[in-house]
Amino acid sequence: MQSINLNYNSMQLTPLEIIRRESLQKLRELGINPYPPEEFKTTTSIKQIISNFEEFEGKEVILAGRMMSRRIMGKASFAELKDASGRMQIYINRDEICSDEEAVMYNTVFKKLLDMGDIIGIRGTVFKTNVGEESVKVKELTVLSKSLRPLPVVKTDADGKIHDAFSDAELRYRQRYVDLIVNDTVKETFIKRTKITTSIREFFNERGYLEVETPILQPIPGGAAARPFKTHHNALDMPLYLRIANELYLKRLIVGGFDAVYEFAKDFRNEGMDRTHNPEFTVMELYVAYKDYNWMMNMTEELLEKVALDSNGTTEMKIGKNDVSFKAPYPRVPILEAIRIHTGFDVAGMNDIQLKEVCKKVGVEVDETMGVGKLIDELFGSKCEHHYIQPTFIIDYPKEMSPLTKKHRTNPDLTERFELMVNGKELANAYSELNDPIEQRERFEDQLKLSEKGDDEAMFIDQDFIRALEYGMPPTSGIGIGIDRLVMFMTNNSSIQEVLFFPQMKPEKKAPSVELNDDEKVLLELLKATTPILLNNLKIKSGFSNKKWDKTLKGITKHNLAKVNATDAGLFVEVV
């Protein structure tokens, strides 16, 4: 983008950056390419050495990584090298890496021209220092990439206590690359995230379930109730929406004859952002033919137990202040039972008027647009949800709030649906899927009525999806698991931003321009008319307020267009 390029061109360098650019130039003058093109072949990784130290001791290794700290002591130095696998100390001795008289590689390149953050390669032998620290004695040093910006300096003391941590949330999210370099725990979070998704894939693939991809750009944003992002396709000249869910597409595939399909889907919802909501987020949805929601509950227990073990090595977890166990089985509580337990009211079979009465009594706010489903959802959400810390299936939701769910086998007012609650939050949502096309059309029409009544979350009708159901979909159970939320639980993070590499942020403000502003131009013209001029006279001529005067004069002196001279006769300003 043009504006960004302009910003870079007009960027004012800090003294630290200028020094590094000068070092870069000097490296080139010494005939060292600071960005060499050749492959750099390493023989092992830091983690390998640390975890098999006896095997490596005395042997030669070649490593590459970022220099994270440096302690120079005359003719010898220690530095910390960090590669993708870990950190370890390297020992650099002048006479080991240099044979020439001037010892250029040590005295000039290592001591003067390299900086913290530079990427280097080393060849040397593994040894242990007198103090017992595992290290590599460097015999050869190669510059692999010069770093032009100083990294934050984060130090860890002998007790493992971190000093001057790079902790500003805004900087960490905007410059995640820096966060990943200096904050090791951040990297661990994201490695764990991949372990979790890998664990889920393994679980499904072993069962022969098929991983698929379905459209993100959808003409009708179906499968959930949420405000979509809208975009436009130029060639077709039609609106398209970023998907809010992929449910209806996966069910079409079940119609098409796949027994089990799943997708890790980025979904998009144009709604508020907070600690647990990002406009784009990841949901794993799975559909399995010939199963029901009871089967799905059993599978979910098994899956989560495995995910906990694969990612953390245990089913027992600390989430915030709570101890949570993912050991199966999990209790199954009908939603109306939960409401009875936590409010004292049995709302089974109540109509909307009676429900509003109950809401009023227990202090839950309601409005006219709310139907039975929404009222029950509201009661559960504000009075019950937060009580379910241990994994608990809340089951048998009312029909009104579940337009894609099959009617309950014993009670036609309810549906075969469950939500899995963990730590007081929803983690998964699953149904015995509605496969009766005639009833599905009726449910959609009920949603349309809700929408006309003012419910802006009611679902859109997808005619093609109904057509697919009319060809016949086997009885099927489906589930959606919020992956970001699952990762939050498994890594004990309370903010979704901590488990997304690049959480959504408002743009940074523009870098200051080197262009003169209008006030500065005016002042410079005045100055050019009479130069040198007594400072106070120029101030009076400008007519600027004190603050504006001060800022503007500082502005043009900073650009080196004018300077102030102190003489016996007073302060004079002149053009340079």
Partner RNA sequence: GACCUGGUAGCUCAGUUGGUAGAGCACCUCCCUUUUAAGGAGGUGGUCCUGGGUUCGAGCCCCAGCCCGGUCACCA
Interaction between residue 58 and RNA (CB under 7 A) = no
The residue type at 399: K
| Sign of the CA dihedral running 291, 295, 301, 302 | negative
- What are the b/e assignments for 526-565, b being 16+ CB within 10 Å? bbeeeebbebeebbeebebeeeebeebbebbeeeebbeee
Q: Least separation, in Å, of the C-beta of 41 and RNA?
A: 26
- Near RNA in 475-494, by CB under 7 A: 480
**148: which strand partners?**
none
503 binds RNA per the rule CB under 7 A: yes
- CA distances to 56, 392, 546, 551 from 540, rounded to whole Å, are 76, 76, 10, 15
Count of chain residues binding RNA (CB under 7 A): 80
What is the C-alpha to C-alpha distance for residues 425 and 389, in angstroms, rounded to an integer? 8
Query: 316: part of which helix (H) or strand (E)?
Result: strand 316-319
- Note whether 505 binds RNA by CB under 7 A: yes
Report the alpha-carbon distance of residue 524 to residue 332 in Å, rounded. 77
By CB under 7 A, residue 321 contacts RNA: no
DSSP-derived letter for residue 496 is: G
Q: Pick from 41, 232, 321, 506 the residue near RNA by CB under 7 A.
A: 506
Task: Please report whether residue 266 would count as binding RNA according to CB under 7 A.
Answer: no
CB nearer RNA, residue 312 or residue 373: 373
494's tokens = 């309370």
* Interaction of residue 560 with RNA, rule CB under 7 A: no
CB of 58 to RNA, least distance (A): 12
Is 312 or 403 the residue whose CB approaches RNA more closely?
403
Report the residue number, 326 or 397, with the smaller CB distance to RNA.
397
- Contacts to RNA from residues 288-317, by CB under 7 A: none
Q: Would you count residue 112 as binding RNA (CB under 7 A)?
A: yes
Residue 562: which of 553, 570, 571, 551 has the closest Cα? Answer: 553
Judged by CB, which is closer to RNA: 312, or 549? Answer: 549
Q: Which is nearer to RNA, 320 or 344 (CB)?
A: 320
For residue 455, with 0-12 CB atoms within 10 Å meaning exposed, 13-18 middle and 19 or more buried, which class applies? Answer: middle
Q: Is 522 in the site for RNA (CB under 7 A)?
A: no
Does residue 467 belong to the site contacting RNA (CB under 7 A)? no
Does 165 engage in binding with RNA (CB under 7 A)? yes
The residue among 119, 57, 50, 114 whose CA lies nearest residue 86 is 50
Q: Considering beta carbons, is residue 312 or 402 the nearer one to RNA?
A: 402
Nearer to RNA, 129 or 205 (CB): 129
Contacts (CB under 7 A) with RNA, residues 144-163 = 150, 152-158, 163
How many CB atoms are closer than 10 A to CB 392? 18
**Smallest gap from residue 3 Cβ to RNA (A):** 15
Q: Which stretch binds RNA (CB under 7 A): 28-36, 269-277, 316-324, 408-416?
A: 269-277
Residues forming beta bridges with residue 426, ordered by sequence position: 421
129 binds RNA (CB under 7 A): yes
For tokens 């990841």, the residue is 282
Work out which of 168, 202, 442, 464 binds RNA, going by CB under 7 A. 168
Q: Vertex 440, ends 439 and 444: CA angle to 5°?
A: 115
Tell me the closest approach of the beta carbon of residue 237 to RNA, in angstroms: 29
Q: Compute the least distance from the CB of residue 243 to RNA, in Å.
A: 11
Cα dihedral: 378, 380, 384, 388 (round 10): -120
Residue of 26, 94, 139, 187 interacting with RNA (CB under 7 A): 94
- Among positions 215-254, residues that touch RNA (CB under 7 A) are 224-226, 244-245
Could you tell me the smallest distance in angstroms from the CB atom of residue 170 to RNA?
Answer: 3
Of the candidates 8, 458, 487, the residue with the CA atom closest to the CA atom of residue 278: 487
Decide: is 171 part of the binding site for RNA (CB under 7 A): yes
Shortest distance (Å) from residue 548 CB to RNA: 5
Which of 4, 11, 16, 575 is the binder for RNA (CB under 7 A)? 16
Among residue numbers 342 through 401, which ones bind RNA (CB under 7 A)? 365
Q: Mark the segment that binds RNA (CB under 7 A) among 50-58, 268-276, 322-330, 535-543.
A: 268-276
Q: Which of 56, 91, 249, 262 binds RNA (CB under 7 A)?
A: 91
> What is the DSSP secondary structure assignment for residue 431, as one 8-state letter?
E
Cα end-to-end distance, the chain, whole Å: 35
Amino acid identity, position 215: P
Q: Which residues contact 37 (CB under 8 A, 6 or more apart)?
A: none
**Helix (H/G/I), strand (E/B), else coil: 412:** coil
Q: Give residues 60-79 in contact with RNA (rule: CB under 7 A).
A: 69-76, 78
Among the listed ranges 333-341, 354-362, 440-448, 512-520, the one in contact with RNA (CB under 7 A) is 512-520
